[in-house]
């Protein structure tokens, strides 16, 4: 086969370009420490690296979620532990009051102590984490207990159940709510509403204005109750109660069933972090127990005080159950946090193996390729400079 000078020059330049391209690839790898510079360099590596990068980010986010959840639960667990200690203090004073003859001064001291301890429990129930109340259900911007003389503005809404320690009137037109009434979830209460009777209503029923109800009644979700309807004590409403403007003077405590705040701690795995059953304990019997304690101490009713010790023990038992439940969830969170940290480490290592270069190996290849390039450059210079005169 006849080989021309142009063919030799073309072959030399083509080999030189190939060497230059390989040298550029190795140089880019050394500069970026990555195997590829764009997905088109190696689509398989690019796709695998993208999936692993998503896995790393997900594991990192889940780990952050578990840490955040643990911090929240540590705050709420500390508050519950404090409440348990306070109840122990109340029980100690009950034992003192029930086993000895009290002077008026002793009685006043015990009453003062119990009052202060009771107020401290309310403060503990209003505990917040990073500005969010941990026992308020979804209404994290609102406390569980409102202070006496708290003013409820027009259109104030709340999804908390409410227990009153005495009757109150709220809003223009004199909305009357009787002592021991429980307002549950999802009910709208209009201004001037007065309720007095005993009737069963189905979901979505409309109650005419001026209707009189003669006994405690349970209103289902979606019931519409107009103004001038009277509601007796022990009436139950469904959640989402809205109470318009006015002044609320009694002690009010929130109830938050069905308002679990959950964090996603794994792919498709959610865990409740807030304590929603604590309010049941205090709405259900705590307020009455404290009131009975104060009356029994005031009246030197030792028999009643002895019985009340059992009531306090019952509340403490419920608190212990909540602590145990919270503790088990914390253990799960701690284990999940460790698992997510391990997964993040594993995925990070796999990602590095997939897209990162072995610098020592690439440097050796680069040095070798540089020698090849220099050799090709020298050979090409000898071929390209030849002319017809060199063969005459």
The residues, ordered by sequence, that sit 6+ positions from 309 with a Cβ below 8 Å of its Cβ are 91, 94, 95, 98
Among the residue ranges 214-223, 238-247, 378-387, the one predicted with the least confidence is: 238-247
Confidence of residue 385 (pLDDT cuts 50, 70, 90): low
Q: Give residue 123's Cα distance to chain centre.
A: 21
Confidence of residue 82 (pLDDT cuts 50, 70, 90): very high
Q: How many CA atoms lie within 13 A of 146 on its CB side?
A: 22
| CB neighbour class for 280 (10 Å; exposed up to 12, middle 13-18, buried from 19) | middle
Nearest to 90 by CA among 119, 55, 66: 119
Nearest to 53 by CA among 359, 355, 357: 355
Residue 233 gets which letter from DSSP?
A: T
| CB neighbour class for 185 (10 Å; exposed up to 12, middle 13-18, buried from 19) | buried
Dihedral sign (CA 56, 59, 62, 63): negative
Confidence of residue 101 (pLDDT cuts 50, 70, 90): confident
Q: Which CATH topology does 34-143+257-356 take?
A: f41 fragment of flagellin, N-terminal domain (1.20.1330)
* Summary mean pLDDT of the chain: 74
Cα-trace Rg, the chain: 38
Q: What is the largest CA-CA distance in the chain?
A: 137
Q: Is the pTM of this model over 0.95?
A: no
242 has a pLDDT exceeding 50: no
The pLDDT tens digits of the residues spanning 198-239 come to 345 555 555 555 555 545 556 555 555 554 455 554 455 444
| Rounded distance between C-alpha atoms, residue 68 and residue 337, angstroms | 10
The pLDDT tens digits of the residues spanning 35-59 come to 988 888 889 999 999 999 999 999 9
Ordered by start, the domain boundaries in the chain are: 34-143+257-356, 145-251
Nearest to 231 by CA among 246, 245, 214: 214
**Beta carbons of 193 and 225 less than 8 angstroms apart:** yes
């Amino acid at each position: 086969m006849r080989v021309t000078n142009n063919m030799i020059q073309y072959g030399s330049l083509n080999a030189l370009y190939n060497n230059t391209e390989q040298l550029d690839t190795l140089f880019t790898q050394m500069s970026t420490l990555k195997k590829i510079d764009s997905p088109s360099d190696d689509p398989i590596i690019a796709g695998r690296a993208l999936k692993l990068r998503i896995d790393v980010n997900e594991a990192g986010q889940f780990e952050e979620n578990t840490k955040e959840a643990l911090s929240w639960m540590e705050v709420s667990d500390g508050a519950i532990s404090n409440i348990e200690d306070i109840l122990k203090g109340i029980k100690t004073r009950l034992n003192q009051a029930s086993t000895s003859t009290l002077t008026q001064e002793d009685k006043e001291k015990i009453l003062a102590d119990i009052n202060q301890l009771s107020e401290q429990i309310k403060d503990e129930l209003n505990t917040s984490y990073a500005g969010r109340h941990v026992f308020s259900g979804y209404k994290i911007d609102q406390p569980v207990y409102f202070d006496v003389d708290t003013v409820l503005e027009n259109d104030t809404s709340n999804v908390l159940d409410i227990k009153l320690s005495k009757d109150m009137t709220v809003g223009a037109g004199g909305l009357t709510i009787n002592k021991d009434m429980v307002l549950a979830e999802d009910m709208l209460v209009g201004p001037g509403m007065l309720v007095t009777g005993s009737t069963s209503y189905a979901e979505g029923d409309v109650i005419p204005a001026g209707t009189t109800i003669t006994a405690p009644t349970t209103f289902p979700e979606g019931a519409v109750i107009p103004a001038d309807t009277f509601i007796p004590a022990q009436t139950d409403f469904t959640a989402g109660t809205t109470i318009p403007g006015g002044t609320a003077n009694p002690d009010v405590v929130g109830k938050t069933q069905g308002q679990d705040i959950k964090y996603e701690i794994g792919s498709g795995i959610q865990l409740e972090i807030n304590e929603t059953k604590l309010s049941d304990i205090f709405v259900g019997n705590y307020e009455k127990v404290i009131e009975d304690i104060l009356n029994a101490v005031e009246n030197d009713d030792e028999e009643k005080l002895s019985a009340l010790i059992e009531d306090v023990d019952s509340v403490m038992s419920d608190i212990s159950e909540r602590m145990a439940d919270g503790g088990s969830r914390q253990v799960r969170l701690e284990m999940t946090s460790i698992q997510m940290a391990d997964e993040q480490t594993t995925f990070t290592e796999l990602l590095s193996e997939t897209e990162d270069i072995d610098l020592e190996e690439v440097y050796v290849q680069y040095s070798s390729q540089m020698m090849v390039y220099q050799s090709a450059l020298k050979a090409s210079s000898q071929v390209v400079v030849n002319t017809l005169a060199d063969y005459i």
